[in-house]
Structure 1
Amino acid sequence: MNNTIVVGMGEALWDVLPEGKKLGGAPANFAYHISQFGLESRVVSAVGDDKLGIEILDNFREKKLNGMIEVVPYPTGTVQVELDAEGVPCYDIKEGVAWDNIPFTPALEGLARQTRAVCFGSLAQRSVVSRETINRFLDVMPEGDGQCKIFDINLRQGFYTKEILCNSMRKCNILKINDEELVTVSRMFGYPGIDLQDKCWILLAKYNLKMLILTCGVNGSYVFTPGEVSFVETPKVEVADTVGAGDSFTATFVAAILNGKPVGEAHKLAAEVSAYVCTQNGAMPVLPDYLKDKLR
């Protein structure tokens, strides 16, 4: 598997929780979990030339997480996170920060040419600089059957537009969305009144996707591929928090697909890993060997 780097691209930030700060941002969570399955991964983002930025870089090193992180003249990103009674997070995401300003560099272009799978979201596209960088990266990536461009939609606050969502769906070949996001998107795109599955079939066909992953929290998850659908029930576990569970689901699914596993098997393992992550505090727990061994 040469030339098979997997990239998580977008926001790198600190989630400031009631009990202290934790490293956050979907791209790092995704890249970290992918690397736990033995794939070579990179986080692409930007941090500020400040204490919080240095701490992010140190943290990535400690986790043996490889990054292409530019230092830019903007503050490192932070998010105030409040947890509700069920442990579900709500976010206040600061604007005008480093990850809004990820530059497209020759080194990043070189990385794009070696990338087999990339995961990107809508949040890092709220500013024009990072949005253009993400789009250029997607355009430079090699074409081919084995390439995965995963749009993990990740709607946060009001940081998205219909235009950005449409463009990203056109550029991706795998869409990851949760049930709440699907309701928002279908309202925006003008097909509100039909059931969730029909909405998924419409998006799959309209954007010519290889796969659409729909997660519905405790109500299970679906993977739609042209002509068939896989459903897996969510394992019942004692939830510590749900932070990063979706990212671990995406990472595990992609790792399994890149390792040649069939969709159903990849889906089942993804549900299992994300359930495990829910039992742990924080987004980046070390996975137990019995889970990692399922891809060896």
Structure 2
Amino acid sequence: MNNLVVGMGEALWDVLPEGKKIGGAPANFAYHVSQFGLLSCVVSAIGDDALGNEIISNFTSKGLNHQIDKVPYPTGTVQVEIDQAGIPQYEIKENVAWDNIPYTTALETIAKSTKAVCFGSLAQRNVVSRETIGRFIDAMPKNDGTLIVFDVNLRQGFYNKDILCNSMKRCNILKINDEELVTVSRMFGYPGIDLQDKCWILMGKYNLKMLILTCGINGSYVFTPGNVSFQPTPTVEVADTVGAGDSFTAAFIASVLKGKSVTEAHALAVRTSAYVCTQKGAMPVLPAEITG
């Protein structure tokens, strides 16, 4: 297994009004990457329980590679309520399996074969998983082609300035939405300037290859040194927005790894996330006209 693309962090059940669906940003990311024909892997942890076993069965049925250890904590769940605009509100259970991802010899072997990793802030709320993520990144190949994506996901106060700062130092691609950018800017002490200027500050401060800014219905931007790509958000009939951002990241990273330009990758990411918004849940099968 070489040139792996890894989604690392929370694998869990989103308990939606119509029933439960497998979720968690890293799993969503890895699943959508696999739909673009790349070798992907989910790294997480589950409990020794029925919900955990069902996650493994589901990933296996999807043909999704996984390094998911069983640990003595319950499998993670999230209570999801959808508001009238289709926007999810989350209640994320604490002290669960994905808070306690162990760093193992098997995981180190995966890290050494990883071309790109995507991780977030939520999975770092507990020191065990936070240290595992850090060790994984440290074990990855050190070359210009390695992509380390920090997808900020500020949930329920499960973050702090140190976690955000250290993650930005480790990554070379930052993905953030407009609301998160406002919060991060307040924490870092530059609240009074426009969104694009905030992005340029973060690009320079953390020496990033790229910064992806999503602004909901107001479009999205990809900043690279000296350039900005903008794409409007398509108007679609929204079923729910769960997992749309993860599918955006997956499509973008898969395209970049395939040698596409930033503009091409950005356009495909927008198309992909718009389609996911028209479907229920985070892991719909993407149509062939998107995956190619």
Shared fold (TM-score, shorter chain, > 0.5): yes
Q: Within the alignment, does 1:181 sit opposite 2:183 as a pair?
A: no
1:22-41 matches, cutoff 5 A: 22-41=21-40
What TM-score do you get using the length of structure 1 for normalisation? 0.98
Cα deviation code 1:97-122 (max 9, x no counterpart) = 00000000000000000000000000
Q: Which amino acid aligns with 1:101?
A: N
Aligned residue pairs: how many?
292
In structure 1, the partner of 2:126 is: 127
Deviation at 1:178, TM superposition (A): 0.2
Cα displacement (A) at 1:18: 1.3
- Offset of residue 130 of structure 1: 0.2
Report the counterpart of residue 6 of structure 2 in structure 1. 7
Q: Secondary structure at the match of 1:107?
A: helix
Match of 2:112 in 1: 113
Alpha-carbon displacement from aligned partner over 1:194-221 (angstroms, at most 9, x marks no partner): 0000000000000000000000001000
- The residue identity in structure 2 corresponding to 1:211 is M
Structure 1 SS opposite 2:2:
coil
Deviation of 1:170 after TM superposition, in Å, equals: 0.2
Question: RMSD value over aligned CA atoms?
Answer: 0.6
Give, in whole Å, the separation in 2 of the partners of 1:12 and 1:28.
6
Aligned to 1:196: 195
1:67-120, Cα deviation, whole Å (9 max, x unpaired): 000000100000111111111001110000000000000000000000000000
CA distance in structure 2 between the aligned counterparts of 1:194 and 1:135, rounded to whole angstroms: 32
1:152 matched to 2:186: no
Partners of 1:23 and 1:98 lie apart in 2 by 15
Between the aligned partners of 1:57 and 1:106, the Cα distance in structure 2 is 20
Equivalent position amino acid for 1:119 in 2: C
2:18 paired residue number: 19
Q: How much does 1:17 deviate?
A: 1.1
Hey, what's the Cα distance between the residues in 2 that align with 1:273 and 1:157? 27
Kindly provide the amino acid, as one letter, of the partner of residue 77 in structure 1: G
Q: Secondary structure at the match of 1:203?
A: helix
Give the deviation of 1:62 after TM superposition: 1.3
Distance 1:36 1:19 in 2: 25
> Cα deviation per residue 1:11-53 (whole Å; 9 max; x = unaligned)?
0100111111110100000000000000000000000000110
Q: Which amino acid aligns with 2:7?
A: G
* Aligned ranges 1:21-170 → 2 under 5 Å: 21-170=20-169
- Which amino acid letter does the alignment assign opposite residue 32 of structure 1? Y
Q: How does 1:208-247 map to 2 (within 5 A)?
A: 208-247=207-246
Distance in 2, matches of 1:269 and 1:15, equals: 26
- Secondary structure at 1:275's aligned position in 2? helix
Cα displacement (A) at 1:145: 1.1
Instruction: Report the identity percentage.
Output: 75
2-structure distance, mates of 1:214, 1:56: 31
Letter in 2 for 1:72: V
Unaligned runs of 5+ in 2: none
Shift of 1:54: 0.5
Structure 1: distance between partners of 2:277 and 2:82: 14
CA offsets 1:191-250 (integer angstroms, 9 cap, x no match) = 000000000000000000000000000100000001000000011111111000000000
> What per-residue deviation string (whole Å, max 9, x for no partner) do you get for residues 148-200 of structure 1?
00000111110001000000000000000000000000000000000000000
Post-superposition shift, 1:3? 2.0
Paired residue type of 1:149: I
2:176 maps to a residue whose letter is I
AA aligned opposite 1:107: A
1:236 alignment partner, SS class:
coil
Q: Which runs of 5+ in 1 are unaligned?
A: none
SS at match of 1:239: coil
TM-score of the superposed pair, with normalisation by structure 2: 0.99
